[in-house]
Structure 1
Amino acid sequence: MKIKIYTITLLLSVVLGSCSSSFLDEKPLDFMSATNSFLTQEDIDCSINNLYYLIRREFYSRDENRPMDYLYGTDIVYDGEPNGTERHSNMISAYHSTGNIASVHWSLLYHTISTANTIIDRLPASEVSEEQKTIAEAKARFFRGFAYRTLAYLYGGVPLLLTEIVEPKFDYVRASKEEVLKQALTDVEFAATHLPCLSSVQDGEISNAAAYHLLSELYLATAQYQKAVDAATTVIDDPATGLMYTRFGSRANEVPGDVYWDLFRKNNQNRGSGNTEGIWVIQIETDTPGGSGSLTAKDQTYTLERHHAPMVRDVKAHGMNPFSWPIGDYTGGRGIGWAISTRYFSDEI
Structure 2
Amino acid sequence: MKNLAYITLVLFSTLFYGCSDELLDVKNPNTLTEDQFWLSAEDAELGLNAIYAMQYKPGLWGRWIYFRYDLTSDEGYSKSPWIELGDWTRFQYVNYNFWEGNVITWRDHYKGIYRCNQVISNVPAIEMDEAQKAEIIAQAKFFRAFYYYNIAVLWEDAPIVLEPSEPDDLPEQKTVEQVWAQVEADLMDAVKSLPVQWDDANVGRPTRGAANAMLGKMYMQQRKWPEAKGALDYFFTGEGSGAYSLMPNFKDNFTHEFENNSESVFEIQFSDDNFGGGDGDEPNANMGNNRAQFFAPAGIGWSDGQARHWLVDAFKQEMNQDGELDERLRHSVFYSDIEADFGDKIYGRDWQWGAEDAWFRKYQRDYYRDNEDYHSQVNLRMIRYADILLLYAEVLNELGQTAQAYQYVDEVRARANMAPLATAYPAIGNDADLFLERLKTERVLELCGESHRWEDLKRWGDLDSQAAVDNIALRDPDFKNFEVGKNHRLPIPQVEVENNPNLSQHAEY
What's the TM-score, normalizing by structure 1?
0.69
Distance 1:331 1:285 in 2: 16
Distance 2:92 2:293 in 1: 29
1:1-349 matches, cutoff 5 A: 31-57=31-57, 58-62=59-63, 65-81=64-80, 84-87=83-86, 88-89=88-89, 91-93=91-93, 96-166=96-166, 168-169=168-169, 171-200=170-199, 202-237=202-237, 238-239=240-241, 241-244=243-246, 259-270=249-260, 275-288=261-274, 292-293=287-288, 299=290, 301=292, 303-305=294-296, 306=301, 307-308=305-306, 333=371, 344=475
Distance 2:115 2:123 in 1: 12
| Deviation at residue 79 of structure 1 after TM alignment | 1.5
Distance 2:26 2:160 in 1: 29
Distance 1:283 1:52 in 2: 9
| Deviation at residue 241 of structure 1 after TM alignment | 2.7
User: Could you report, residue by residue, the CA deviation over 1:214-256 in whole angstroms, capped at 9, with x for unpaired residues?
Assistant: 000111123321111121120345156322465xxxxxxxxxx
The answer on whether the counterparts of 1:236 and 1:242 sit within 8 Å (CA) in structure 2 is: no
Distance 2:111 2:149 in 1: 14
Query: Amino acid of the residue matched to residue 293 of structure 1?
Result: G
> CA, structure 1 residues 40+236, in 2 after alignment: closer, same or farther (shift >3 Å)?
farther
Please state whether the residue corresponding to 1:61 is helix, strand or coil.
coil
> CA, structure 1 residues 37+235, in 2 after alignment: closer, same or farther (shift >3 Å)?
farther
> CA, structure 1 residues 78+67, in 2 after alignment: closer, same or farther (shift >3 Å)?
closer
Please state whether the residue corresponding to 2:131 is helix, strand or coil.
helix
Query: Amino acid of the residue matched to residue 149 of structure 1?
Result: Y
Please state whether the residue corresponding to 1:281 is helix, strand or coil.
strand
| Deviation at residue 102 of structure 1 after TM alignment | 1.5
Please state whether the residue corresponding to 2:264 is helix, strand or coil.
coil
| Deviation at residue 343 of structure 1 after TM alignment | 5.9
Which shifted more, 148-157 or 81-90?
A: 81-90
The answer on whether the counterparts of 1:121 and 1:164 sit within 8 Å (CA) in structure 2 is: yes
Please state whether the residue corresponding to 2:266 is helix, strand or coil.
coil
1:324 corresponds to which residue? none
Please state whether the residue corresponding to 1:120 is helix, strand or coil.
helix
| Deviation at residue 146 of structure 1 after TM alignment | 1.1
Distance 1:231 1:221 in 2: 13
> CA, structure 1 residues 262+144, in 2 after alignment: closer, same or farther (shift >3 Å)?
closer
The answer on whether the counterparts of 1:199 and 1:240 sit within 8 Å (CA) in structure 2 is: no
Please state whether the residue corresponding to 1:36 is helix, strand or coil.
coil
> CA, structure 1 residues 132+27, in 2 after alignment: closer, same or farther (shift >3 Å)?
farther
| Deviation at residue 38 of structure 1 after TM alignment | 1.7
Aligned length: 288
Distance 1:96 1:90 in 2: 14
Query: Amino acid of the residue matched to residue 125 of structure 2?
Result: A
| Deviation at residue 212 of structure 1 after TM alignment | 0.5
User: Could you report, residue by residue, the CA deviation over 1:167-210 in whole angstroms, capped at 9, with x for unpaired residues?
Assistant: 622x3321111111111110111111111222547221111111
Query: Amino acid of the residue matched to residue 172 of structure 2?
Result: V
How many percent of aligned residue pairs carry the same amino acid?
21
Distance 2:67 2:192 in 1: 32
Distance 1:160 1:260 in 2: 39
> CA, structure 1 residues 135+143, in 2 after alignment: closer, same or farther (shift >3 Å)?
same
Structure 2 unaligned segments of length 5 or more: list them: 1-20, 275-283, 307-333, 336-345, 354-364, 374-448, 450-471, 478-509
| Deviation at residue 40 of structure 1 after TM alignment | 1.9
The answer on whether the counterparts of 1:219 and 1:225 sit within 8 Å (CA) in structure 2 is: yes
Query: Amino acid of the residue matched to residue 211 of structure 1?
Result: A
> CA, structure 1 residues 124+287, in 2 after alignment: closer, same or farther (shift >3 Å)?
closer
Please state whether the residue corresponding to 2:85 is helix, strand or coil.
coil
The answer on whether the counterparts of 1:293 and 1:301 sit within 8 Å (CA) in structure 2 is: no
Distance 1:245 1:329 in 2: 18
> CA, structure 1 residues 143+264, in 2 after alignment: closer, same or farther (shift >3 Å)?
closer
| Deviation at residue 71 of structure 1 after TM alignment | 0.8
The answer on whether the counterparts of 2:158 and 2:176 sit within 8 Å (CA) in structure 1 is: yes
Structure 1 unaligned segments of length 5 or more: list them: 1-20, 247-258, 317-326
> CA, structure 1 residues 47+95, in 2 after alignment: closer, same or farther (shift >3 Å)?
farther
Query: Amino acid of the residue matched to residue 260 of structure 1?
Result: F
What's the TM-score, normalizing by structure 2?
0.49
Which fold has the larger relative contact order, with Cα–Cα distance below 8 Å and residues 6 or more apart in sequence?
2
